[in-house]
Amino acid sequence: MSEDSSGRSASDLSTASDAGKIDITGFTDSFLRGFRRLWWLVLLLMAAGAAMQYFHTSSYSSSSCTAEATVAVTSVANTDDSNSKADQMASVFPYIVSSGVLNDVIQEDLGLDYIPGSIHVTAIDGSNLITVRVTGSDPEQVYAVLQSVIKNYPTVAQYVVGQTELQIVDDSGVPAVTGFSSVTHGSARRGAMYGLAVGIAMILVYMSLARTIRDEKDLKRTMNVPYLGTLPIYRRKKRRHRKSGISILEHNVQQDYLEAIRLVRTRIQRKLEEKGGKVVMVTSSVPSEGKSTVASNLAVSLAGEGKTVFLVDCDFRNPSVQRTLNIKGSYPGLEKILGGQAELSDALYSYEEKRGLNLYVIPGPKNPGSSHTDLLGSEAMKSFLDQLRNHADYIVLDTPPSDLIADAMLLVQNIDLAVYVVGCDFARTSVIVQGVSELQESGAPFGGCVLNGGKRGSGGYAKSYSYGKNYGYTSRY
């Protein structure tokens, strides 16, 4: 292997070079994800910017028009002196206007109380021509002022430049109103662009602050924890008023999702066999990462192998198993069982008759009341799990997320394996790291992480044709 003069190998140089490169694809993906989450804010900022600029401009701007005329200056006493007279008339005009004499004459001539516009006079170099411009908001008044200036200016200026005559060479006529519409529309566009710029800046800030786990590489780079697999994004036709979650019990289940669940199930089974255990606790960092979905489908997949499985909703605050599996009816829930207010038989939903599966679910109540989460660490909970162990091959516990870590920790002493669900590009990395660390420090038998909602074809699960054809899987789920 070749080395440079500093002793570094070519591979080291290549690695260093790659590390210095900007991950354009990753940056673009992150930006698009940030935009999908904050697009409403960007639109709101653009609309607010456009509205603020429009109203600001319309408050301080008005419609404007300009009437102008080019006139020839002729000296009555000496026609050869006309060019210098034009220069003199243009140069003394500001002083004449500021003195108020010309304004008084024009007001008297037009019968007005004020001059409705601004007047400017400029000389055209090398000629006896001057240009007179009047700008204001009323076209008729602007043109009338222009004519009055041409008529009365020689009289006012004769004491300074001598007696002169003005002859109109070119006249714009009564002007059209211009300027206001284009100014306000232009300001609205500028405001929208300002809002867009602020929105993009906020997305970039969001990208820098909201570090998330996007894929298997991010997980392995961030945390040294076992990886159990990635569940792909589940795509299905939207149905109105549908409230059930993602379940592999559906008739037309997405095949890559089904195979991903099977792979996760196989890895969890292997870890349980190594420990000689039955009880799996499924948790996550924050709500809505798919914890209940993973727990429910794991239980279904285990039962699909002919195993006897109990799925228990241990989330007293926000029970979700019943909704995920679309279970009808009302059930008292685990809290009532542990409190001695309900029997196990009354709280069970069985898939034995309908699906031929030895799957028994203990859903949570539809309307949970005041929760007593301390029951999760009680002797009653231990006795309850011991009772289930006598009848089950596997027990899957859907527990509260680790942002309610005290609730999840109450179960640690009674489980054989803890599975941590990480929603792809969802919770902040710091929150995930803290949750996993606290779970491990509590002494929980940590099994690994499942990435939920990853890209199709991402690492961690086989293609749909791999199972059955190549490995002879006979599992129904």
Nearest one of 452, 344, 421 to 388, comparing CA atoms: 344
Q: What are phi and psi of 460, to 5 degrees?
A: 115, -10
Q: Find the range with the poorest average confidence among 109-113, 153-157, 228-232.
A: 153-157
Looking at residue 358, what is its pLDDT? 94
- Specify whether the CB–CB gap between 397 and 314 falls below 8 A: yes
For residue 268, count CB atoms less than 10 angstroms from its CB and return exposed for 0-12, middle for 13-18, buried for 19 or more. buried
Looking at residue 189, what is its pLDDT? 85
HSE-up (13 A, CA, CB side) for residue 105: 18
Looking at residue 241, what is its pLDDT? 44
- pLDDT higher than threshold 70 for residue 3: no
| Residue 174 token pair | 């009564």
HSE-up (13 A, CA, CB side) for residue 395: 23
Question: What's the pLDDT band for 1 if we cut at 50, 70, 90?
Answer: very low
pTM for this one? 0.60
Residues for the chain: how many in total? Answer: 477
- Specify whether the CB–CB gap between 269 and 477 falls below 8 A: no
SS3 376: helix
For residues 379-396, average pLDDT: 94
Q: What are phi and psi of 447, to 5 degrees?
A: -90, -35
Amino acid at 410: L
239 to each of 2, 134, 325, 360, how far by Cα in Å?
62, 67, 16, 28
Nearest one of 131, 164, 156 to 146, comparing CA atoms: 131
- pLDDT higher than threshold 50 for residue 165: yes
Q: Find the range with the poorest average confidence among 99-103, 183-187, 235-239.
A: 235-239
pLDDT digits (tens, 9 = 90+) for 280-334: 999 998 888 889 999 999 999 999 999 999 999 998 888 999 999 989 999 999 9
Amino acid at 318: N
Distance CA 27, CA 47 (A): 27
Share of the chain above pLDDT 70, in %: 79
Q: What are phi and psi of 293, to 5 degrees?
A: -65, -45
Higher pLDDT, 82 or 350: 350
- Specify whether the CB–CB gap between 259 and 464 falls below 8 A: yes
Higher pLDDT, 466 or 85: 85
Distance CA 55, CA 399 (A): 54
Pairing of strands 394-398, 279-284: parallel
Looking at residue 281, what is its pLDDT? 94
Distance CA 173, CA 17 (A): 70
pLDDT digits (tens, 9 = 90+) for 51-79: 888 777 666 555 678 889 998 888 776 65
| Residue 192 token pair | 């929208």
Higher pLDDT, 59 or 188: 188
- Specify whether the CB–CB gap between 157 and 86 falls below 8 A: no
Give the Cβ contact number of residue 35 at 10 Å: 16
- pLDDT higher than threshold 80 for residue 361: yes
HSE-up (13 A, CA, CB side) for residue 424: 22
For residues 216-241, average pLDDT: 77
Residues forming beta bridges with residue 311, ordered by sequence position: 361, 396
| Residue 178 token pair | 């211009």
Nearest one of 438, 365, 367 to 408, comparing CA atoms: 438
HSE-up (13 A, CA, CB side) for residue 210: 18
Looking at residue 181, what is its pLDDT? 55
Looking at residue 23, what is its pLDDT? 57
Distance CA 324, CA 421 (A): 16
Distance CA 119, CA 144 (A): 12
Rounded to 10 deg, the angle between the 255-275 and 291-303 helix axes is 80
Looking at residue 176, what is its pLDDT? 72
For residues 168-176, average pLDDT: 84
pLDDT digits (tens, 9 = 90+) for 403-454: 655 666 778 888 999 999 988 877 777 888 888 888 888 888 999 999 988 7
Distance CA 292, CA 282 (A): 8
Distance CA 78, CA 165 (A): 11
Distance CA 184, CA 57 (A): 6
Nearest one of 146, 177, 176, 187 to 63, comparing CA atoms: 177
Amino acid at 216: E
